[in-house]
Amino acid sequence: MPELPEVETIARGLAKRVTGDAIESVWLGQKKEPLKSPAHEIAAVLEGALISRVHRMGKHIVLELERIAGPPNVKPPSRRKAATVTTSALARRGAGPALAPADKAQFIVHLGMTGRLQVCEPEAEIAKHTHAILKLQSGRELRFVDPRRFGRLSVAASGQFATVGIEPLEIDLETFIPLFRGRKTPIKSALLNQKLLRGVGNIYADESLFRAGIRPRRQAASVTRERLEKLFVAIKDVLKEAIKLGGSSISDYVDADGEEGFFQLQHRVYGREGERCLACKTQIKRVVIAGRSSHYCPKCQK
């Protein structure tokens, strides 16, 4: 379940492999769920584009694209046609400005629960649930595999993709505190709300709340400033530590090199229901909040 640290790890690994490479052609599967933008639009934007940079925004991986002059394999007439269809499709959905084949664009990948991006040789066996294959100029392929299909692929004109939430590793205390003001929702739900902070998911919300001594069910607005200050530090610490360890490998998560992360060994509450609290030996409890398992120590967290 890739959250900020896992996505950061994956984005860094991917950046090392594909920055400077170009996309020659694109194959997209028949399943519609993984495609947030229309298939022809994704293909039109990706084909013949240079990958100039790979980075993370919240839980999204963003590939910055630059159109390279006269890619021999992309015929201008077909591109014009695709752009025309794109324009009308966008207008119909009221999705904002049309996505013309601009000089700069973005390919945005959300891994959902089980999404994987793999860079491999073309002869490598195609995994079950492969939804996209990008043929690269270097001869390799970038593939998107996602069994559960919660992941999403989309394209945007450069700068058009904006998420409302703030990066938790960049936010300052005086911006952080008011995020929770007047919110009746449980603090755990607020942390999972990507419109507030982007990138925090179930694991790191639980781990941060434990470190800050706050029960996940506590109403966000009722958390004292003192506790919010602790939470502010806890979130940053947890995320930074997790990034250092390459993320948490639970379920089948591996990074771009197929390496597992090790932060799961540092989990103090997540997935430890019934086990003893490492601080006070009390049994860790699990409750469901907003449909998510939430783990906490009833003694350490108030």
Partner DNA sequence: ACTATTTCCTGGATGC
Partner DNA sequence: TGCATCCAGGAAATAG
Binding residues for DNA, per CB under 7 A? 1, 3, 33, 58-59, 110, 112-113, 128-129, 147-150, 182-186, 189, 192, 194, 201-203, 288, 290-293
Q: Which is nearer to DNA, 196 or 277 (CB)?
A: 196
Q: C-beta of 263: minimal distance to DNA in Å?
A: 14
Q: C-beta of 91: minimal distance to DNA in Å?
A: 17
**H or E element in which residue 43 lies:** helix 39-46
Q: C-beta of 100: minimal distance to DNA in Å?
A: 23
Q: Which is nearer to DNA, 23 or 191 (CB)?
A: 191
Residue positions annotated with a catalytic role: 2-3, 59, 292
| Residue 78: both structure tokens together | 């077909």
Q: Which is nearer to DNA, 23 or 197 (CB)?
A: 197
| CA pair distance 53, 70, nearest whole angstrom | 21
Classify each residue of 187-205 as buried b or exposed e, where b means 16 or more C-beta atoms within 10 Å of its C-beta.
bbbbbbbbebbbbbbbbbb
Place of tokens 């240079």: 50
| Residue 111: both structure tokens together | 């891994």
Q: Which is nearer to DNA, 192 or 235 (CB)?
A: 192
β-pairing, 130-136 vs 141-145, is antiparallel
| CA pair distance 115, 147, nearest whole angstrom | 7
* Cα dihedral value 98, 99, 100, 104, nearest 10: 140
Q: C-beta of 201: minimal distance to DNA in Å?
A: 3
